[in-house]
Every structure is written in structure tokens, then in C-alpha cells.
Structure 1
Amino acid sequence: MSESTESKSRGPLGRVVVIGGNGFLGHHIVNQAIESWTTTAVFGVDLRCERNRNPAAEYRECDITDPERLLSLIEELKPDVVIHTASPVANNPKIGNDIFKKVNVDGTQSVVDACEKAGVKALVYTSSASVISDNVTDLLNADERWPLIRGDQQTEYYSETKAAAEELVLKANRKDDSKLLTCAIRPAGIFGEGDVQTLAGILNVYKRGKHNVQVGNNENLFDFTYVGNVAHSHLLAAQLLLVTAASPTVPLDHERVDGEAFFITNDEPVYFWDFARAIWHAAGHDKGKEGTWTLPRELGIGLGFISEVFGSILGKTPTLTRKAIIMSSMTRYYNITKAKRVLRYKPLWTLQEGINRGVEWFAEQDRQQAAAAKA
């Protein structure tokens, strides 16, 4: 569907706080909560609240790694639901492991503690599909039965901290005398309007004229998920947690949302380079695979290493990395049967619709920047 046309009859969410509410995913959740759900009030909480604002929402600035300030704010706002999306960007080389630990683990513990103490009914945490990946080994039709990859087996510290935070959140479900219900959403390959990683990176390849190179044989299926669908899944989970909180009985195991994690995708696995070419086509490239040459994966990894070395010597961010080569040539797709059955999730936008919306958003940003430069 090209737009979310579902009415506000899905059920009330009450007072909603979105932590990270001015960020990429968070502001889409704020917008959907206001536009498509019945709410009493929607609050965006972020470190800085200047961008991605919805005039129908209220905003508060707060550092989630400040437990006292966060608790005071949650007690003030009195939310029924907290949706915690805040996290440093995964692939930013300027962000050290200490920041990932401080925000993703310590900050999430602060969120859990504040929710428990303030009597919040439901907490939905944005985890990551990467928590079951060592970021090297292929994933084929992976589902929630696959174990978290932790410690020495995990090659990416971001994923390590997201897994640790997910465990904190799920262990808090019905803990001791607390009435807090929790769940985790594991989105795969989020892209869309405001995306500074996936879509921005692929479009940048096109703008630099490097879109005629393909790494590997393009036989690797990959899951990408439009951000609007990811936002939708969070709100479905929030609603069902509230339904459970109001129920005098505990749901059957196969019906439970609380204490559970859910993979979320567009349910359209696609060959990695077909996805990239669909983005380039939406951006104006009309020659498809014409003129494309294939870079063997092993050679690409070697070139990535050389690029990283020179980048380190020159103090610059490398344009090619081993991780980028590996990710663009590995198989990584998930089974979302559990989310479809329990959350009753289905994508509101197709992959192509998401691509079109995202590319148009970036084109509009370029037009605005060009107009501002002329002014």
C-alpha cells in the first residue's frame, strides 16, 4: 500500500513516550502513533529535540545515561507505554565501544529501572536482527529459536551491546512485584526517509559514479525493512502489551508478546545488488546491469583492508571497508512467522514503495540544499 490507510480503531495506546523520538526510527514511530493510533498524548524524548519534530507531539530533552533525570521525567510524563529506540549509529567509526556500552547497555538499564519505579505498563525495546549474527556467517531463514551471539563469538561490539540490552529488557518482564511488561523488536536492514546508513550509503555510491561495481555473484539473499513497517511493528507490540496488562490472566505461551523478541522484515528477501540497483533506478539510473563488472569477494576484502590501513594513516574515513564487502556478499534473511502470528504484523509498504519514498525524501533534501545555496 502506498499510504497507511488503517483507521484509529486498532485500540488506544494512552500516553506514549518514544525514547529517541527525534531519531531516524523514533520520529517515524511518533508520527504513526499520532496519525494512525488513538493516543492521549505522545512525547518524544531525545538528547536533542531540534529535528524531526511533529507539531502534535510534545518533546523533552534527556540523557538516558542520567538515571535520576530520566526517572524524574518518566514520573512527570506518566506514560502507559515507553518505546525505547535510542542508540548510537552502528557503523560510525567515530563512535567508540565505550559509547555503545554507555548508551545501549547502561542507558537501557536506566530506562528499565525508570519504567519499573514509575509504574509504566509496557516497554518495547528496539533490538537488532544482528544479535544472532557474528556478522561473518550466512543466515538462512533465521528465526527467534537461534541463540544470541555473545562474547568472543561476536565480531561487532554494537551487536554485543544490543544483545546485552535486549536481555536486560526481557528479564525485566513481570520481574518480582513489578507489573512492567516488556518485549523486543529485532528489525533487519532498516531504510527509508531520514536513513543515514543503508539508503544514504547506497545513494552515495551512485552519486560518486561507483555503481558499476558489484561484489560477488549476487546470489546472496538479504532482508531490508522499510522504516514505516518497523515503526508499525513497535506500535502493534505496544498495543498488545497493554491488552495483556489489562487482562486478569497470562496469555498462553504461543500467544505471548510479553517477554518475547520478534524479528521484523519486509517479508521480501531480495538479492543484495538487486536492492541496490532498485535504489539507483529510483534515483535516475536507467541502464540496469549494463556496464557492471564483478569484483570477487576475496579481492574486495583485500582492497578493503588496504583502504582501512591508508585511512588510518591519513586520518580519514575509508571509502571501502572489509565489513562493507562482507555484508554486501553474505546471505542474511529471516523468518518472521512469529511476528505475523503473534503481533499480527504485515508490512504496510512494499519494498519498492519504501525505496521510492526514501529516494524521493533524499531528492527533496538535495533540492532544499540547492535552493538554500542560491539564496
Structure 2
Amino acid sequence: MEVDDRFVELNARTCVVLGGRGFLGRSLVLRLLKLAKWNVRIADSAESLELDPSEQDSLLSDALVAGRASYFHVDVRNKDQIVAALSGSSVVFYMDYEDSHSNDIYLSYMFIVQGAKNVINACRDCKVRRLIFNSSADVIFDGSRDIQNGEEPLAYPRKFEDMLSDLKAQAEALILFANDIDGLLTCALRPSNVFGPEDTRLVPFVVNQAKSGLAKFIIGNGENLSDFTFVENVTHAHICAEEALDFRMVSVAGKAFFITNFKPMKFWEFISLILEGLGYRRPSVKLPFKMVWNVLLFMKWIHEKFGFSRYNHSTWARYIQLAACTRTFNYVAAHKQLGYSPIVSMEEGITLTIESFSHLRKELSLASLTEFTEESKADKLLGGGRVADILLWREEKKSFTCFLASFLLFYWFFLRGGTFISSVAQLLLCIVVVLYGYGFIPANIYGFPVQKLSATMFGPSDTVVRDSIMGIACLWNRGVHNARSLARGEDWNYFLKAVTFLYLLKLFLSRSLTLLIGMGLVFAFTAFFVYEQYEIEIDGFAKFLFISIMELKSVLASHLPPPLMSFLWCDKLSHQPKEVAMSKR
């Protein structure tokens, strides 16, 4: 077989990338091949190496042909397969395995913890000199507290909410403890929130939430900072760690290092940039962390109690904790001891990531181009004005102020115990006293100007008066029209609707007017908001309910007595156009 000259390296050494077909493994393999001083063995769980279409005629395919790259099928639960891949190599990069079964505790333990034990023993048997383990910053994060500028001596948490982080921490501890045994030097790297092209976790998860409508929510106050790390910076850090182990063994061996992009940013700003770049809306609706966490715990209880749930609790728990907590790390140790510095900036990394996920981009049809300005159904129902902005919580402070004012008025008139007339009189008295006292306040108090109320604020404009009169006139005319329709006795359907409505109104008012108004207040500030968030789901359920009612109505109609059916048929027939009625006759 003819060998390409560009791959010839007289002093080429052999290294093994365990998990070489995973997200990080692929990037590391390409980087090692670009250095042109390594013979790279790619080890993964697949039976054989199948190149993606993008890898055809690439650096990897050329290296496979030239013999500078080779593939080994390795199951980390099988030590013999690991030994076969490691034999004759001097360096092992132990990366993530994509097939660690996150929903099965036993399989996850076997892949992560037992796999780490097998890798350590195989390295010792094969006289491997250096083992670099790709760990994670999650191993010192339990989600119960913020981490600001965290350093490597941070202890492992006593309890993890995420099972995979717990197992990863055990594997890291085993590999660091194995340092300097039988000549094996080890170290671990802890990248934080890795992202980039071909990401299989963070970006796809966020896009899936955007497609389901959940990405519009911000968990917490949205101000928490996080460290994110571009994938090529992580693989560069592995090369730096290998070189540091080779030359500065005392300061690196047996230690762990945080790997970041050296530039923390707001977690929700990062998410927003990814979503905007792929054509989705930025998250805008803030939800309290405790409320979301309690909902998650409730869903977990439902799953354990009844066994039906389609969500992965550990994945959601980790995401919610990351989304609401500050988590930044000190990069000084990695910079000084490993000689690591990011080679790709955050801005460039985000751009490259968005470009690589173009297949997940939201389709920009004519309807989607107007999505950001088109009114929702809830907005149209409320008239699309100030009332819509308040009830749909577009401006949270204004909406909360109106809700609080409405609740205070509700308390003043209905819960305080006074009569309606006395409550109105006392309220007017309070307003008069406040306005009269406000008039005595000087225009300047210790250098702070006090804005005076102008007389025009208390006089409605001609437009307001005209619109109010027109509204009252329209309501009066509509009432007169409805009364005439009832007086003619022609429309039995309308009569039944009117009677049913008035009876239900009388029933509610006779029971408790206070309860009715209180429920209406809560409904106004919650129902429209919820409907806007889940418009498609609610419309689908309403359509299903309507079809079910119509089918039930047809079944009942088939069992009604013939005289009643004849009466209803005649009533419907009388409302049809004359031509249709004559044709039926």
C-alpha cells in the first residue's frame, strides 16, 4: 500500500483514544492527526468503523489508508479487548462513551466505574506511561449552591442529584488514585458545559425544548453566570495535558484541572444566542427556581408511584440546576501547569456551532417570518392593547402591579366586611385626602424634584368620552335586538342559551358573589397567559372535545321521540334560506 508523504513521521508515537467516535473523541482524533506525530488508534464500542458522509476524503480517511490511524472494537467492560487496543501504545486518552446507559443504574456503573477500573488495569499490564481522563466539572457540583471561581481542591459533594455525575466522580477518583503505580502517570480534565459542532447533548436538548415550546421559559432570575467550553479547546487541553505529563510530571500527575473558555457568560444569554442563531425566540418568561424544582419532584413522584412518565429525571434535574445556579471556575491552574489557553473564542465557537446545526434550524416559511410580530389568539381575544400586555404578562412589573391593585380592591370591597356603599365612600375619602395632601408637597424636597399632577389628568378627553358613549349605545342596541328576537319566539336555540346563561348566573350569584369575583380575578391573570403558552395543545383538546360532543349529540338525537325530532327539524328548517327549504319540501 502506497503511503502519503505528508503522513511520514520517523518518530511517530502510538496513542489510543478510548471513545474515539464520540463527540469529544472525534475532535481529539482529528487534532492528533493534524499534529502529524502520532499513530492514532481509535477505540469505540461499534463493531466496525463506518465513516460519515462528511468524513469521506477527509484527514481521517487518508490517515486510515496511510496506516496512521486504525480502529479497534472495544467494550470497556471487557478488559481483554482494552488490552488488545492498548498494547504497544504510550498514551491513552480516555474520553466519554456515548453508550453509557443513563436510564439503567447497573449498566451505567459498569460502563463508567467498572470501565475505569478495567482501563487502569489494562494500562498497567501494557506498560502505558500516561493516561489522561476526560472528566467533567459536574463532579464537584450538586446543584444546591453556587460555585463562583471554583478551584481544583473543591471536594466531591456527598450527594449528587444526577447519577451520571456521581459515577463520573467515582471514575475520576479511581484514575487519580492510580497515579504513579507501575509507572503509570494520570491526570483528569474537567471541562465545563462543552459545546460545538456534532454536540449530542447540550445543543440538541435546547433545540428540542424550543420545538416543544418550553425554551421560552427562564428558570430563576436569568442573571446567573456559567463557564462554557468549545469542543476544540477541550481537545487542545488534552494535548497540553499529555505534554505536561511528559515534561512537568510532579505538578500535573495525579491532579485534576478545570477547563473553560476563560470567559464566563450568563447562562441564559448563551442559550438565547444559540436559539436566535437557529431561528427560535429568545427565552423571555421567568419562572421561580423553587416552583420548577417542586414540579420536577412531583413528576418524579408520579413516575415512581404510577410508572408512567416520558421524561428523564436526571437530565432535567441537571439542566434545571445549571440553568438557575452560578457555576464558574478558576482557570489559573490549567493555564500555568498545563500551558493551556483557549484557541477558539466564545464568539467564534458559538458561530461555528450554529453553522454546524443548520439542519436543526427552524424553517423560515412565510408564516414563520411574521411569527415575531403576529398576534397570538390570546392577544386577539384581549384586543391587542394595554389590557393584553397586562394579562399576558408582557411587562412583569406592570402586570404584577395591576394584579396587586386588583387584589387590594377585591379585599377592600368584598373581604373587609363592609357594605358596598360604605366601601366606595371610604375609598373616595382616602383618595380625596391623598390628593389634597399631595397638593401641599413642595416642588423640591432636598434636591429631589416632585412632579405635580396637572389638571388635564382629571379631565377625560373628547375621544374617551365619545368611545365610552358609543360603547354604551352599542350594548343598549344589542340588548334591544336580543330582546326583540326573544319576543318573536322564532329561535328556540337562542332562547335555551339565554335561559341557561341567566340560570347559571343566578346560581353563581346566589351562592357567593365574592367567590365568583375572586375566581374571575385569578382566571384573568392566569388563563390567557397559559393559553398563549400552550395554544396548540389547548386548541387540539378543544377540537377533540367539540367533536366528541357533536358525536354524543347525534347519538342522543337518534334516540329522541319522533315528535321531538320533528319539532327540532322544523325549527332548524325555519332558519334556512327559502330556496333551501323549498328544495327540501
TM-score interval (norm. to shorter): 0.7 to 0.9
Alignment correspondent of 2:143: 135
Deviations 1:268-300 (A, max 9, x none): 111111110011122134x656xx221111222
C-alpha separation between the residues in 2 aligned to 1:118 and 1:294?
54
Tell me the residue number matched to 1:294. Answer: 286
**Residue number in structure 1 paired with 2:20:** 21
Q: 1 CA distance for matches of 2:15 and 2:125?
A: 17
1:343 to 316, 338, 341: 338
Q: Give the Å deviation of 1:215.
A: 1.3
Query: Is 1:161 aligned with 2:153?
Result: no
2:176 is aligned with 1:170: yes
Count of aligned positions: 336
Q: Report the CA distance shift for 1:214/1:354 in structure 2 as closer, same or farther (over 3 A).
A: same
Against the structure 1 CA distance between its residues 263 and 28, is the aligned structure 2 distance closer, same or farther, given a 3 Å change threshold? same
How far apart in 2 are the matches of 1:307 and 1:356?
A: 36
Instruction: Please report how far the alpha carbon of residue 306 of structure 1 lies from its aligned counterpart in structure 2 after TM superposition.
Output: 4.2
Higher strand proportion (structure 1 or 2): 1
Cα RMSD, aligned residues only: 2.6
Residue 104 of structure 2 corresponds to residue 96 of structure 1: yes
1:45 is displaced (CA, Å) by 0.1
Q: Report the CA distance between 1:85 and its aligned residue.
A: 0.7
Alpha carbons of structure 1 residues 46 and 322: separation in structure 2 relative to 1, 3 Å: closer
Is it true that 1:331 corresponds to 2:329 in the alignment?
no
Which residue, 297, 302, 305 being the options, matches 2:297?
305
Counterpart-to-counterpart distance in 2, 1:365 and 1:213: 20
* Shift in alpha-carbon separation, 1:146–1:13, aligned structure 2, 3 A: farther
1:257 to 252, 255, 263: 252
Name 2:44's counterpart in structure 1. Answer: 46
Larger radius of gyration: 2
Q: Which amino acid aligns with 2:30?
A: N
Selected match of 2:227 from 214, 218, 223: 223
Tell whether the 8 Å contact from 1:88 to 1:103 is kept in structure 2 after alignment.
no
Q: Could you say what secondary structure the match of 1:166 adopts?
A: helix
Shift of 1:332: 1.0
Secondary structure at the residue paired with 1:211? Answer: helix
Distance 1:145 1:323, change over 3 A: closer
Asked if 1:242 corresponds to 2:254, the answer is: no
Secondary structure in 2 matching 1:141:
strand
Q: In the alignment, what sits opposite 1:189?
A: 193
Name the % identity: 30
How big is the shift at 1:322?
4.4
Structure 1 residue 341: deviation in Å?
0.6
Q: Distance in 2 between matches of 1:45 and 1:229?
A: 22
TM-aligned CA distance change 1:355 to 1:13, over 3 Å: farther
Distance 1:351 1:131, change over 3 A: same
Q: Residues of 2 paired with 1:98 and 1:201: CA distance?
A: 25
Q: Hey, what's the Cα distance between the residues in 2 that align with 1:165 and 1:212?
A: 36
Q: Secondary structure at the match of 1:314?
A: coil
Deviation for aligned residue 1:211 = 3.4
Q: Which of 91, 102, 124 is equivalent to 1:81?
A: 91
Query: Is 1:278–2:273 an aligned residue pair?
Result: yes
**1:314 corresponding residue in structure 2:** 308
Q: Which runs of 5+ in 1 are unaligned?
A: 1-7, 245-250, 368-375
Residue ranges of structure 2 left out of the alignment (5+ in a row): 1-6, 64-68, 363-585
The equivalent position to 1:356 in structure 2, one of 351, 357, 361, is 351
Shift of 1:156: 2.6
Contact kept? 1:21, 1:85, Cα under 8 Å: yes
Q: 1:60 aligned to 2:55?
A: no
Q: Which amino acid aligns with 2:89?
A: P
Alignment correspondent of 1:4: none
Distance 1:14 1:333 in 2: 36
User: Which amino acid counterpart does residue 25 of structure 1 have in structure 2?
Assistant: L
Amino acid at match of 1:314: F
**Match for 1:45: what amino acid?**
A
With structure 2 as the length reference, what TM-score do the two structures score? 0.54
1:120 equivalent in alignment to 2:141: no
Q: Which has the higher contact order (CA 8 A, sep 6+)?
A: 1
* Residues 13 and 238 in structure 1, CA contact (< 8 A), matched pair in contact too: no
TM-aligned CA distance change 1:288 to 1:165, over 3 Å: closer
Deviation at residue 325 of structure 1 after TM alignment: 2.5
Q: Is the 8 A contact 1:20 1:85 kept in 2?
A: yes
- How far apart are residue 205 of structure 1 and its match? 2.5
